[in-house]
Amino acid sequence: MSVSSVNPAPNSTNEYYLTRQSQMESNVRSYPRKLPLAIAKALGCWVTDVEGTEYLDCLAGAGTLALGHNHPAVIQSIQDTLTSGLPLHTLDLTTPLKDAFTEALLEQLPGGKKEYCLQFCGPSGADGTEAAIKLAKTYTGRSSVISFSGGYHGMTHGALAMTGNLSAKNSVNGLMPGVQFMPYPHEYRCPLGLGGEAGVDALTYFFENFIEDVESGVTKPAAVILEAIQGEGGVVTAPTKWLKKIREVTEKHNIVLILDEVQAGFARSGKMFAFEHAGIEPDVVVMSKAVGGSLPLAVLGIKRKFDAWQPAGHTGTFRGNQLAMGTGLATINTIKEQNLAQNAQERGDFLQAEFKKLAVEFPCIGNVRGRGLMLGVEIVDERQTADHMGSLPGDSQLAAAIQTACFDNKLLLEKGGRNGTVIRLLCPLIITHEECVEVMVRFKKAIAEALVAVRGA
């Protein structure tokens, strides 16, 4: 069946396709329940449904579409690969295209190919996480792992064990053993109840003491895994001093430090990788989503001293996706040539400032945070009493209503954080100032409508 033969018929509706989807797909599907549309075409920051309605997309494939939909450089790369005669799948055999992509990707890591080598994994971020943990255990000979509350590392068995959210874990017994969770700093909801710099200082001390205390009760781990900006956890940014201390302690004790850059990487934070804001170098960097330029690919950047694999020590059939390497190369080149890291920073600064202004008018916006074009807006119930740190209870009902109202106003975005109280924006890096202004116009209208729907005011 050709692409042209599956274009929507003139009288097709979103409901028609959503009904068929519910009849043919598993109950596990999630996005169609919150964003009930069937997409007919897309370009840049805009998608068009089968009824011809245009939506401004601030979800961007959960961050996969760094250059937005159908960017000319991505499309050209696909066409060039298809007409080149290259095989589309090569396992881990190399090609000139893979060679060029490998070199370009290594150049983005601190120290480049002198410091790092790459491992191509299965196509998802969870696959990369699994490989990273397995490598750390292979290198150290140890078995336990430290992860952090609020972290998200995937839905496969081992990755889920290291993920903070309990909703998907409660129904699955026997997840990977040996995972120790520690608290992650949070500017609005300090896990120690201290808040501010006092909370950051205490958590920084706590981590070092936990590793070095001979009475901590926990043996030395193989790895520490974390996100420099927690995405699904509600766009929570790690403080620089805390990250630096984790790097210092893990290096001192030969613990593999794994940075999960699946969502925050590739210029989204205003730098190529979010860990760069702290000036640290991880031992292993997990990359997926944008690394494949919109097509499935996962890659590890491994400090050479930690490359402890024996040949075929970890494999995956789809680690040779040539189309994804082509689109990944096009994405890296476009990010550099158009300085999209700076665009992400500037557009993100504008959006943060506008959301903070909006919080004055709508006090149900309790906290605005993030870096670059990875933004979180925490929705609270300002009618309730704040805690001793000045933080208000989250309002998950209102947050859900805001997402629905945004959809009704043709704005696509996601929720996250504890109990889904954080509105998350992952705009394409190419978004313009004018489109950011339009985001705010639509969001303001949506929040007013949601307040009426939920609170009658």
Could you tell me the domains of the chain? 4-64+339-455 (3.90.1150.10), 73-337 (3.40.640.10)
Q: What is the pLDDT of residue 10?
A: 61
Residue whose tokens read 């992400």: 344
Q: Which residue has the tokens 């909801």?
A: 189
The residues, ordered by sequence, that sit 6+ positions from 395 with a Cβ below 8 Å of its Cβ are: 364, 379, 380, 381, 421
Query: How many Å apart are CA 269 and CA 283, to the nearest integer?
Result: 20
pLDDT at 2: 54
Backbone angles phi, psi at 132, to 5 degrees: -65, -45
- Are the C-beta atoms of 329 and 335 separated by less than 8 Å? no
Q: Which helix (H) or strand (E) holds 301?
A: strand 299-303
Interior angle at CA 425, CA 419 and CA 430, nearest 5: 165
Residue 167 has a pLDDT of: 87
Q: Locate 148 and state its tokens.
A: 């952090």
Q: How far apart are CA 172 and CA 151, in angstroms?
A: 18
Instruction: Summarize the chain as % helix, strand, coil (round to 5).
Output: 45, 15, 40
pLDDT at 66: 98
Q: Identify any residues that bridge with 56 across adjacent strands, giving them in sequence order.
A: 46, 411
Q: Calculate the CA dihedral of residues 193, 198, 203, 205 and round it to 10 degrees.
A: -140
Question: For residue 5, what pLDDT is reported?
Answer: 54
Residue 436: alpha-carbon gap to chain centroid: 20
CB 39 within 8 A of CB 6: no
The whole-number pLDDT of residue 6 equals 64
∠ CA(386), CA(205), CA(150), 5° rounding? 50
Supply the pLDDT for residue 8. Answer: 66
What pLDDT is stored for residue 218 in this prediction?
Answer: 85
Beta-ladder partners of 42: 47
State the SS3 of 33-74: HHCCCCEEEEEECEEEECCCCEEEECCCHHHCCCCCECCHHH
Write down the pLDDT at residue 171: 86
Q: What is the pLDDT along the chain (457 residues), one digit of tens a residue?
A: 555 556 666 667 999 999 999 999 999 999 999 999 999 999 999 999 999 999 999 999 999 999 999 999 999 999 999 999 999 999 999 999 999 999 999 999 999 999 999 999 989 999 999 999 999 999 999 999 999 999 999 999 999 999 999 988 888 989 999 999 999 999 999 999 999 999 999 999 999 999 999 898 889 999 999 999 999 999 999 999 999 999 999 999 999 999 999 999 999 999 999 999 999 999 999 999 999 999 999 999 999 999 999 999 999 899 999 999 999 999 999 999 999 999 999 999 999 999 999 999 999 999 999 999 999 999 999 999 999 999 999 999 999 999 999 999 999 999 999 999 999 999 999 999 999 999 999 999 999 999 999 999 7
Structure tokens given for 226: 């974390």
The 3-class secondary structure across 388-424, one letter per residue, is CCCCCCECHHHHHHHHHHHHHCCEECEEECHHHCEEE
Which tens digit of pLDDT belongs to each residue from 383-439? 999 999 999 999 999 999 999 999 999 999 999 999 999 999 999 999 999 999 999
Query: Tell me: the pLDDT tens digits for 37-95?
Result: 999 999 999 999 999 999 999 999 999 999 999 999 999 999 999 999 999 999 999 99
φ, ψ of residue 303 to 5 degrees: the values are: -55, 130
Nearest to 81 by CA among 322, 319, 321: 322
The sheet with strand 116-120 has its strands ordered as 116-120, 299-303, 284-287, 256-260, 223-226, 145-148, 179-182
Beta strand extents in 194-276 (DSSP E only) = 223-226, 229-230, 236-237, 256-260
Q: Is 139 helix (H, G, I), strand (E, B) or coil?
A: helix
What's the confidence (pLDDT) of residue 7?
Answer: 67
The pair of three-digit structure tokens given for residue 109, joined into one six-digit string: 């890591």
Distance CA(44)–CA(428), nearest Å, equals 8
Six-digit token string for 17: 């396709």
- The whole-angstrom separation of Cα 12 and Cα 35 is 18
Token pair belonging to 366: 């309790």
| Secondary structure of residue 79 in the 3-state scheme | helix
3-state secondary structure of 456: coil
Distance, CA of 17 to CA of 39 (rounded, Å): 10
